[in-house]
Amino acid sequence: MISNLLFLIITVLAVGLFVWQIQKIRRNINLGREKEISDDASERLNKLLLVAFGQQKMFKRPWPAILHGIVYVGFVVINIEVLEIIIDGIFGTHRALSFLGPIYTGLMAINELLAFLVIIACIIFLIRRNVTKVPRLTRGPEMRAWPRLDANIILLTEIILMLALFSFNTADIKLHVLDGRELAGSFPISGLLVNSLSTTNVSSLEALRSSGWWLHILGIFAFLNYLPSSKHFHIIMAFPNVYYSKLEPKGKFTTNQSITHEIKALLDPSYQVPPLPEGTEPQKFGAKDVEDLSWKQLMDAYTCTECGRCTDVCPANITGKLLSPRKIVMDTRDRMEEKGEHPAIFRPNHYQEQVKQRVKVTEEKTLLRGYVTPEELWACTTCNACVEACPVNIDQLSSIMEMRRFLVLEESAAPTALNGMFTNIENNGAPWAFSPSDRLNWADNLFVNVK
């Protein structure tokens, strides 16, 4: 009875704490500019099913996709068992879902096999990160101590959670065998493990069973509250982020409406610029800090898995330039947490100090210059390779573009050569310094033979 009550309190606290953390993140995301995204619900649902649930974009690299798929499916199926654990914990029942009969048997079998495969996958992932050191997972100024530790914590926790599950099942089977009863369900892995379990001491078996049970569920609660401070938060954010992703062609960049009004007024003096809504100030052109980005761009930052697929395909990064699309996204998250309210538990994402060692940033406390330098931004070829590569549909390019706009429109801080190009377009109608009157010269002599 006391343990049921204790379990109930822990459950409520864990879920409550998580909800509280989510509210903080929500507020951080709402630091961003408003952006209306409500069109094409059916196309968005389709994307959600394919890209988020179906992990379509993961399959650009088959091996990580298969391993990730195991962990993902394992996570989904094990949630059914978590449901049983919560029912058992609150009501003091034992294996409350066993009334499902053959369905339960199948479920437990699948669960055990997946748990075993998850352990294997996590071990391979650990090897990739720590032994073979896959470059995209370990290199780059943004992959410092914390992101590396974070990844290892996640993988080790998942292994421990699965081992706890096996110790619970194994001890439970053994206790039932000793008792001469049969345990509902089928346990292919624990069934093998039970043979190697020599002890017949009932109290130590009970201790093993309940410690496995508690470790598993407390671990899950702890993990739940670890998520908001971790890249592992993608298991939640991937879904809304994909739903709200850009549906237009990748080459279509946003149009700034206030500039449209200004130019219309310039071209036609009778044009009436619509007044700003009451109480709003004119917006900056482009983005200097997180509040100048849209909420979707900030949501991107909380969705980032730090997998580095964007940086790995970035032509600027490949050829040794400073730009790393992943860094831009991680910078945005770090700055958001600095500026807004931090996730409750801890705020390990700050890494400005370490970044300074490689990237020259100023003391200015804004996203632009405080975290992201103009040199990074100007290296971008806007080729959309990063956007194409991202498994959770982050639009790294749109944030880069907003910051470029700020540099050009608010600070007139474009590289000199680009200012020359602007002048040529203004004066000659071409980015090169040619006379507009020569525009038809290509046709000279062309029709001589024909006509």
Partner 1 sequence: MADLMARGEEPEILFWVGCAGAFDDRYKNVTRAFVRILEHLGIKYAVLGLEESCTGDPAKRAGNEFLFQMQAMTNIEVLNGYNIKKIITACPHCFNTIKNEYPSLGGNYEVIHHSTFLQQLINEGKIRVAGGKAFKGKRITFHDSCYLGRANGVYEAPRQVLATLDADLVEMKRSRANGLCCGAGGAQMWKEPEPGKKDINIERTEEALATGATIIASACPFCMTMLSDGVKNKNQEDQVKVFDIAELIASAENLNA
Site for partner 1 in 419-438 (CB under 8 A): 420-422, 425-426, 429-432, 434, 436-438
Q: Which of 13, 222, 263, 265 binds partner 1 (CB under 8 A)?
A: 263
Burial class, 320, CB count within 10 angstroms (exposed 0-12 / middle 13-18 / buried 19+): exposed
Our finding on whether 365 is near partner 1 (CB under 8 A) is no
Strand partners, 294: 33
Give the contacts of 304 (CB within 8 A, at least 6 positions apart): 231, 234, 326, 329, 330, 333, 392, 394
Q: Which is nearer to partner 1, 278 or 426 (CB)?
A: 426
Q: Which of 182, 248, 281, 363 binds partner 1 (CB under 8 A)?
A: 248
Longest dimension (CA), the chain: 105
Give the contacts of 57 (CB within 8 A, at least 6 positions apart): 51, 389, 390, 391, 392, 393
Our finding on whether 262 is near partner 1 (CB under 8 A) is yes
Q: Which is nearer to partner 1, 250 or 358 (CB)?
A: 250
Q: Which is nearer to partner 1, 110 or 383 (CB)?
A: 383
- Residues in 279-318 that interact with partner 1 by CB under 8 A: 285-286, 313, 315-316, 318
Minimum gap (Å) between residue 359 Cβ and partner 1 = 12
What is the secondary structure of 290-322 as a DSSP string? GGGSBHHHHHHHHH-----HHHHH-HHHHTT-S
Our finding on whether 243 is near partner 1 (CB under 8 A) is no
Task: Give CA–CA dist 301/337, Å, rounded.
Answer: 11
Burial class, 403, CB count within 10 angstroms (exposed 0-12 / middle 13-18 / buried 19+): buried
Q: Which is nearer to partner 1, 129 or 321 (CB)?
A: 321
Q: Which is nearer to partner 1, 131 or 448 (CB)?
A: 448
Q: Which is nearer to partner 1, 240 or 420 (CB)?
A: 420
Binding flags for partner 1, 30-59, as an x/- string (CB under 8 A): ------------------------------
Q: Which is nearer to partner 1, 205 or 389 (CB)?
A: 389
Burial class, 46, CB count within 10 angstroms (exposed 0-12 / middle 13-18 / buried 19+): exposed
Q: Which of 27, 250, 347, 360 binds partner 1 (CB under 8 A)?
A: 250
Minimum gap (Å) between residue 371 Cβ and partner 1 = 18
Minimum gap (Å) between residue 337 Cβ and partner 1 = 27
Q: Which is nearer to partner 1, 23 or 381 (CB)?
A: 381
- Residues in 55-94 that interact with partner 1 by CB under 8 A: 60
Task: Give CA–CA dist 58/236, Å, rounded.
Answer: 17
Q: Which is nearer to partner 1, 53 or 253 (CB)?
A: 253
| CA distances for 287 relative to 65, 93, 323, 398, 407, angstroms | 35, 56, 17, 10, 9
Binding flags for partner 1, 314-343, as an x/- string (CB under 8 A): -xx-xxxxxx--------------------
Binding flags for partner 1, 387-426, as an x/- string (CB under 8 A): xx------------x--xxxxxx----xx-xx-xxx--xx
Pair of tokens at residue 298: 């900030």
Task: Give CA–CA dist 268/266, Å, rounded.
Answer: 6
Minimum gap (Å) between residue 319 Cβ and partner 1 = 5
Q: Which is nearer to partner 1, 131 or 417 (CB)?
A: 417
Give the contacts of 443 (CB within 8 A, at least 6 positions apart): none
Binding flags for partner 1, 189-228, as an x/- string (CB under 8 A): ----------------------------------------
Pair of tokens at residue 6: 């204790």
Pair of tokens at residue 403: 């910051």
28 in Cβ contact with 340 (< 8 Å): yes
Task: Give CA–CA dist 318/316, Å, rounded.
Answer: 6
Residue range at the interface with partner 1 (CB under 8 A); choices 85-93, 101-109, 235-243, 254-262: 254-262
Give the contacts of 356 (CB within 8 A, at least 6 positions apart): none
Minimum gap (Å) between residue 414 Cβ and partner 1 = 6
Minimum gap (Å) between residue 244 Cβ and partner 1 = 20
Our finding on whether 361 is near partner 1 (CB under 8 A) is no
Q: Which is nearer to partner 1, 348 or 420 (CB)?
A: 420
